[in-house]
């Protein structure tokens, strides 16, 4: 662990996350990936806690100029990627309470005060995530495959498909529209029912879990419709969770569903918001 940098009134402290500081500290394999690459990532120990930090320019991260920086897509992508890379590398060796992006303290004293004043709550959060990581699960439905599957199981769908195929002209158009509306209705019913079942089954093989907001296609990168998105806290070596996702994929394949497993991540969604920084 490198010693704290010399005092510089133009530099602040960027806080990535907090880990236990009263045991064997992890070796930092985060050289050259800090949000400001002119400064290395280091650990700042305060009592039983250790902060994962690096120095940053207060001019670049000042509250008055930050909104403009956040509107710069290239700057934002670079900094978010650096923030995540630092946490990912530390996560290989230690459990972390991650802090939100762009958490900056103007002085070492201010940072130490946060660690000291929130010591008990931070320790409780660390105890909760000890040995755990966050994984994400997304489920997508292909409407054409869903419709084909429904045709073998749903009598209403079968009848409308038959009418639409046999009809001609304007009548055919009306029957196809009726079929589209029925399929849309069945998809909505399926989304609600399947979402509840998926979440229930995954909670049974995880420490904790919660549903997340669905992502639009431009965010998910897929044309298929996302109908489920959840985050789960699991053991770092837990194979039962992956097996459960695999079983779900088999169970829902005929309904045109595909699953996507992401992570492991630092437990962003399982840290109380008031502890991420102040």
User: Where is average pLDDT lowest: 28-42, 66-80, 125-139, 145-159?
Assistant: 145-159
Q: Read off the pLDDT of each residue in 240-249 and give the average, rounded to a whole number.
A: 94
What gap in Å lies between CA 104 and CA 13, rounded to an integer? 5
pLDDT at 2 over 60: no
C-alpha distance from residue 84 to each of 79, 137, 156, 170 (Å): 9, 19, 49, 56
Tens-digit pLDDT profile for residues 8-66: 568 999 999 999 887 677 777 666 789 988 898 999 999 999 999 999 998 888 878 78
User: Where is average pLDDT lowest: 3-12, 125-134, 239-248?
Assistant: 3-12
Report residue 176's pLDDT band, with 50, 70 and 90 as the boundaries.
confident
C-alpha distance from residue 145 to each of 150, 166, 223 (Å): 9, 21, 13
174 or 255: whose pLDDT is higher? 255
User: Where is average pLDDT lowest: 17-31, 41-55, 151-165, 247-261?
Assistant: 151-165
Report residue 272's pLDDT band, with 50, 70 and 90 as the boundaries.
confident
What gap in Å lies between CA 199 and CA 204, rounded to an integer? 9
Q: Read off the pLDDT of each residue in 223-239 and give the average, rounded to a whole number.
A: 87
Report residue 72's pLDDT band, with 50, 70 and 90 as the boundaries.
confident
| % of the chain exceeding 90 in pLDDT | 44
Tens-digit pLDDT profile for residues 186-219: 778 888 889 999 999 999 999 999 999 999 888 8
Token couple for 155:
């009598």
Report residue 243's pLDDT band, with 50, 70 and 90 as the boundaries.
very high
Q: What angle do CA 267, 239, 92 make, to 5 degrees?
A: 45
**Domain regions of the chain by residue span:** 11-130, 133-270
Q: Read off the pLDDT of each residue in 67-88 and give the average, rounded to a whole number.
A: 89
Of residues 135, 147, 143, the one with CA closest to residue 223: 143
pLDDT at 225 over 70: yes
What integer pLDDT is reported at residue 255 of this predicted model? Answer: 86
Question: pLDDT averaged over the chain?
Answer: 84
């Amino acid at each position: 662990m490198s010693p704290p940098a010399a005092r510089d009134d133009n530099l602040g402290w960027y806080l990535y996350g907090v880990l236990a500081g009263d045991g064997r500290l992890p070796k930092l394999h985060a050289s050259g990936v800090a949000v400001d690459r002119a400064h290395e990532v280091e650990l700042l120990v305060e009592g039983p806690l250790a902060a994962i930090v690096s120095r940053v320019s207060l001019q670049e991260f000042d509250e008055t100029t930050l909104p403009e920086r956040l509107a710069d897509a290239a700057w934002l992508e670079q900094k978010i990627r650096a923030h995540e890379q630092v946490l990912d590398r530390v996560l290989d060796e230690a459990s972390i309470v991650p802090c939100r992006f762009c958490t900056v303290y103007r002085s070492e004293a201010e940072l130490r005060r946060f660690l000291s004043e929130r010591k008990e709550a931070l320790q409780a959060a660390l105890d909760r995530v000890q040995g755990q990581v966050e994984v994400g699960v997304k489920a997508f439905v292909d409407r054409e495959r869903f419709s084909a599957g429904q045709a073998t199981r749903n009598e209403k769908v079968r009848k409308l498909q038959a009418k639409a195929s046999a009809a001609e002209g304007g009548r055919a158009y009306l029957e196809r529209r009726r079929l589209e509306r029925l399929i849309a209705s069945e998809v909505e019913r399926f989304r609600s029912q399947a979402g509840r079942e998926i979440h229930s089954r995954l909670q049974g093989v995880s420490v904790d879990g919660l549903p997340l907001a669905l992502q639009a296609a431009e965010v998910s990168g897929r044309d298929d419709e996302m109908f489920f998105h959840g985050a789960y806290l699991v053991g770092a070596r837990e194979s039962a969770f992956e097996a459960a996702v695999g079983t779900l994929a088999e169970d829902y394949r005929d309904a045109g569903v595909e699953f996507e497993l992401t992570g492991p991540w630092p437990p962003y969604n399982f840290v109380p918001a008031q502890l991420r920084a102040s």
